[in-house]
Structure 1
């Protein structure tokens, strides 16, 4: 047996992660370019200081106060009468997804999505010993509802995973797609990953609105993006209490530290201020879409804080060219496409200038 005795499914795999390169303009991981205000940072620091005095004790393993705060926040964004019993929190939406697959996936069960989609989903399936099946999106990255329904009925997945807005394309799902998936899945769990939900355009509803109609619907969110709290690692879900209780079965003991709970609760108290920058980023995103199209490029419609654009015969050369100009974006998605996170106006100006220079050099 080779050393170390790695599971067969893991042999040859590389750890997930975007390139971490120290350059002036970092627009590759969909972070919020605006950090918390001094008032918010002070509140987080004071809350963590208070939690530090209790670190000789285990944290509240149910994160009750935090879940109550998250439920209140979600009720203001499309939720209907959610309570702490409908909400679960974990270390980033990554742990939320893994816990869902640990609870509802596993050997002999299947998880389904539609590509292109978030590249970590197959790894969650691999880690939970769940079979992974991927359908296809349309050329404009939308979902053909008839084809998607047929795929769900064919595969009969235990879990359906779909981001809305989609990562890496930014495409949002229409409400009828969510209803169709929930009905077609039967007893399968349908997870709508709204990591970028707060960035959706005016008039695009959240899947939270459909929770009362579908007992198998789960809506996941994160505080990493709109709340500018990527470094705190806090993800959460909203679902029927039965689903929350099922996830509680597989969670590790005291999985969410007292420090994380304190920091996230403090950030929630500053939600209006933190989310105030979301509107600015939406405007910057829409201006970026318009500008890229004026350069003769294809651009996917985006409801997120990033834009997928292309197509390039050699996208890696374009990526490298931007990097030489001090601008880091993401080489991801279908062949020929690149993704840029939305930054500050100055960062976006530097990105545009760099892209023009790289395209002119290529000509």
Structure 2
């Protein structure tokens, strides 16, 4: 926001230091003067010869002392003022130096340079805590921007691929009018369906990140039943058995998003499974801090280095079992985003016998009002 120019903080601190020093000096001189007035008489009798002079009589001592004390006190205050201004300017500059470093780093970040770090040396204090917090914010911003750029590049590549394939099929059909149009149309239909699926997945990912949904009471056991029933033909096609152990599990969230989360997990477990006689286990139940949804599947061992990247967008688990139902590479990324939007946690672990175990822990729904009154 635009602001009118004002006095610098350094000048304000300098004037504050100098003013405080002047007040302390005035109080000190006032204390000295009060002390002198207490122990020095108002008048004194001078006897000739006692002071080395021939003067005699009564003289006003306090008034004479005031004439001597006042100019010297003024000189002391002037020195204190000069010393306070000079010293305050130096001290204020040293105290505000960390803020200058933070300001410079902010300007660099505003210009687009997020790799700069303040790394303020010294022991911990308020300024260093501010600098450390700013460095942490810059690191997170840099990682977020890098992730967004990588996501945009991957999304552009994924969207360009079906468009390029469609163009190539149309060029082939135009160059060879005698070619069977039914085959070309089938392939175009498949490519177009993949592009639509990718676009819908990107839109779902964006909506989940914005958290633009109303929280409702959702029974995860019913969600699991609906998702598995929908994916039963896919499981039969892959020769995978789906086993469900779902108790009443009330969660708080969006029914549509939680259904999408469960569908993605079960579909991923079916597709990335053994070539035949595979199994998928889906269970729901209470957890110490909420409710939990667990999806396990048999399959080949998952390398630890691959396990850490499966929730990244457009990661299809290239080293896992490949099938013709590869998806668009956003399944687990959408799961992680929906989980985070529901203030939950997502955990991926390798099963000792091979395959993957995915655990989603979500906040539990509040008990119904009638149950809370009776309890």
**TM-score (normalizing by structure 1):** 0.22
The structure with higher relative contact order (CA 8 Å, sep 6+) is 1
State TM-score, norm by structure 2. Answer: 0.21
Q: Which has the larger radius of gyration?
A: 2
